[in-house]
Structure 1
Amino acid sequence: MTASKASRPSNSSIASGRRSSGGAEVATVWVSAGDASGDAIAADLMRALAAARPETRFVGLGGAEMVAAGLERFADQEALAIGGLLEWIPSLGPIAGTWRRVIRGLRQTSPDLVIVIDSGGFHLPFMRVARALCNAPILYYVAPQVWVWRAGRVRRIAARADRIAVVWPFEPAFWAERGVRTDFVGHPILDRTIAEAPLTDARGEARSKLGLDPERPLIGLFPGSRRNELLRHLPPMVGALRALRANRPDLEAVLVQAPSVDAERIAALLAEAGAAGEVRVVESRPEWLDAIDVGLAKPGTITLELLLRACPMVVVGRAHGLSVALARRSFVGSRVALPNLIAEAEVVPELLQAEVTPDRIAAALGPLLPGPHGPSPAAVAQVEALRNARGRLGTPGASVRAAKIAEEMLGSDRA
Structure 2
Amino acid sequence: MKPALISELPAPMTGSVDLLIVAGEHSGDEHAARVVSELREKNPALKIAALGGPELAKAGAQLLHDLTATSVVGFVEVLKHYSFFKSLFDATLAWVELHQPRAICFVDYPGFNLRLAAQLRERGLSVKGGGTVKLLYYISPQIWAWKPKRRFTMARDLDALSVIFPFEPACYADTALAVEFVGHPFLAADYVPPVSFDAAGPILLLPGSRVQAVARIFPRLLAGFAEYAKTNPAARAVALYPSAEVVAVAREELTRWPQLAGKVELKPVSESHVATPLAASAVLTSSGTMSLHCALAGIPGAVVYRTNALTYLLARWLVKIDYIGIANLLLKEPMYPEFIQDAATSRALAAQLQECVTNPARLAQTREQLGRLRQLLWQPAAGTAADWVARHLKLC
Distance 1:70 1:98, change over 3 A: same
Relative to structure 1, the CA distance from residue 389 to residue 99 in structure 2 (aligned partners, 3 Å threshold; closer, same or farther) is: same
Matched, 1:162 2:159: yes
SS of 2:77's partner is coil
2:361 is the counterpart of 1:363? no
- Whole-Å Cα distance in 2 between the matches of residues 358 and 289 of structure 1? 28
> Which segments of 5 or more consecutive residues in structure 2 lack a partner in the other structure?
1-13, 126-131
2:117 to 117, 127, 135: 127
Partner secondary structure for residue 147 of structure 1: coil
Between the aligned partners of 1:170 and 1:249, the Cα distance in structure 2 is 44
Q: Does the 8 Å contact 2:356/2:362 carry over to 1?
A: yes
Deviation at 1:196, TM superposition (A): 11
Q: 1:136 aligns with which of 116, 121, 133?
A: 133
What residue number does 1:13 align with?
Answer: none
Q: Does 1:51 align with 2:35?
A: no
Matched, 1:281 2:276: no
Amino acid at match of 1:116: F
Larger radius of gyration: 1
TM superposition shift of 1:169: 0.8
Match of 1:4 in 2: none
Structure 1 pair 164–33 and aligned structure 2 pair: CA distance change class (3 A): same
Q: How do residues 342-357 of structure 1 correspond to structure 2 at under 5 angstroms?
A: 342-357=330-345
Give the alignment's TM-score, normalised by structure 2: 0.85
1:40 to 13, 27, 30: 30
1:391 corresponds to which of 359, 372, 375: 375
Deviation at 1:34, TM superposition (A): 0.3
C-alpha separation in 2, matches of 1:108 and 1:82: 28
SS in structure 2 at match of 1:392: helix
Change in 2 beyond 3 A, CA 1:384/1:83: same
Q: Where does the alignment leave 5 or more consecutive residues of structure 1 unmatched?
A: 1-20, 205-214
Give distance in 1, aligned partners of 2:268 and 2:87: 29
Give 1:195 shift. Answer: 5.6
Cα distance, 1:253 vs. partner?
Answer: 0.7
Which residue type is aligned with residue 228 of structure 2? L
- Residues 333-368 of structure 1: per-residue CA shift (max 9 Å, x gap): 111111111112222211112212222222222211
Provide the identity percentage.
26
- Which string of whole-angstrom CA distances, capped at 9 and with x for unpartnered residues, describes residues 154-200 of structure 1? 212222211011110111122215665411111122124336997xx
TM-score (norm 1): 0.82
Contact 2:25 2:67 in 1 (8 A): yes
Change in 2 beyond 3 A, CA 1:264/1:195: closer
Provide the secondary structure at the position in 2 that maps to 1:332.
coil
| More displaced 10-residue stretch of structure 1: 95-104 or 228-237 | 95-104
Distance 1:203 1:79 in 2: 32
| Amino acid corresponding to residue 336 of structure 1 in structure 2 | I
Q: CA deviation at 1:142?
A: 0.5
Q: Aligned equivalents of 1:324 and 1:226: distance in 2?
A: 16
Asked if residue 108 in structure 1 is aligned to residue 98 in structure 2, the reply is yes
1:255 maps to: 239
Aligned to 1:311: 299
Greater relative contact order (CA < 8 Å, ≥ 6 in sequence): 1
Report the secondary structure of 1:193's partner residue. coil
